[in-house]
A and B are shown apart, each in its own frame.
Chain A
Amino acid sequence: MDVVSTVQFGIFSVGDVTADPTTGATPTENERIKAMVAIALKAEEVGLDVFATGEHHNPPFVPSSPTTMLGYIAARTERIILSTSTTLITTNDPVKIAEDFAMLQHLADGRVDLMLGRGNTGPVYPWFGKDIRQGIPLAVENYALLHELWRNEVVDWQGTFRTPLQSFTSTPRPLDGVPPFVWHGSIRSPEIAEQAAYYGDGFFANNIFWPKEHYVRLIELYRERFAHYGHGTPEQAVVGLGGQVFMRRNSQDAVREFRPYFDNAPVYGHGPSLEEFTDQTPLTVGSPQEVIDKTLTFRDTFGDYQRQLFLMDHAGLPLKTVLEQLDLLGEEVVPVLRKEFALARPAGVPDGPTHAALVARDRAADPAGPADAA
Chain B
Amino acid sequence: MNTVHLVVVSAGLSQPSSTRLLADRLGEATRRALSDRDEDRTVTVRVIELRELAADIANHLVTGFPGAALRDAIEATEQADGLIAVTPIFSASYSGLFKSFFDVLDNGVLAGKPVLIAATGGTARHSLALEHAMRPLFAYLRALVMPTAVYAASEDWGSGGDATTDGLAARIARAAGEPADQLAGRPAAAPAAAEQVVPFAQQLTALRPAGR
Interface, chain A (partner B; CB < 8 A): 136-137, 140-141, 144, 158-160, 190-191, 193-195, 197-198, 209-211, 214, 217-218, 221, 225, 267-272, 276-277, 280
New A-B contacts (5) at CB < 8 Å, excluding given A159-B208, A280-B68: A140-B203, A158-B212, A194-B199, A210-B65, A271-B62
- Nearest first, the 8 A-B pairs at minimum CB distance are A271-B62, A198-B200, A210-B65, A272-B59, A190-B197, A271-B59, A194-B197, A141-B207
Interchain CA distance A191-B204 in the complex, whole Å:
12
Cβ–Cβ contact A193 & B207, under 8 A: no
Closest beta carbon of chain B to A122's beta carbon, Å: 15
Which of A159, A191, A218, A276 is B198 in contact with, Cβ under 8 Å? A191
Interchain CA distance A209-B66 in the complex, whole Å:
11
Interface, chain B (partner A; CB < 8 A): 58-59, 61-65, 67-68, 195-201, 203-204, 206-209, 212
CB contacts (< 8 Å) of B204 on chain A: these are 140-141, 144
Which of B59, B196, B200, B201 is A276 in contact with, Cβ under 8 Å? B59
Interchain CA distance A3-B195 in the complex, whole Å:
39
CB contacts (< 8 Å) of B58 on chain A: these are 271
CB contacts (< 8 Å) of B203 on chain A: these are 136-137, 140, 191, 194-195
CB contacts (< 8 Å) of A221 on chain B: these are 195, 197
Q: Given A140-B203, A158-B212, decide whether A280 and B197 contact each other with a Cβ distance below 8 A.
A: no
A-B contact pairs, 22 of them (CB 8 A): A136-B203, A140-B200, A140-B207, A158-B209, A159-B208, A159-B209, A160-B207, A160-B209, A190-B195, A194-B198, A198-B201, A209-B63, A209-B64, A210-B64, A210-B65, A211-B65, A214-B65, A218-B195, A271-B59, A272-B63, A276-B59, A280-B68
Closest beta carbon of chain A to B1's beta carbon, Å: 26
Cβ–Cβ contact B197 & A276, under 8 A: no
CB contacts (< 8 Å) of A211 on chain B: these are 65
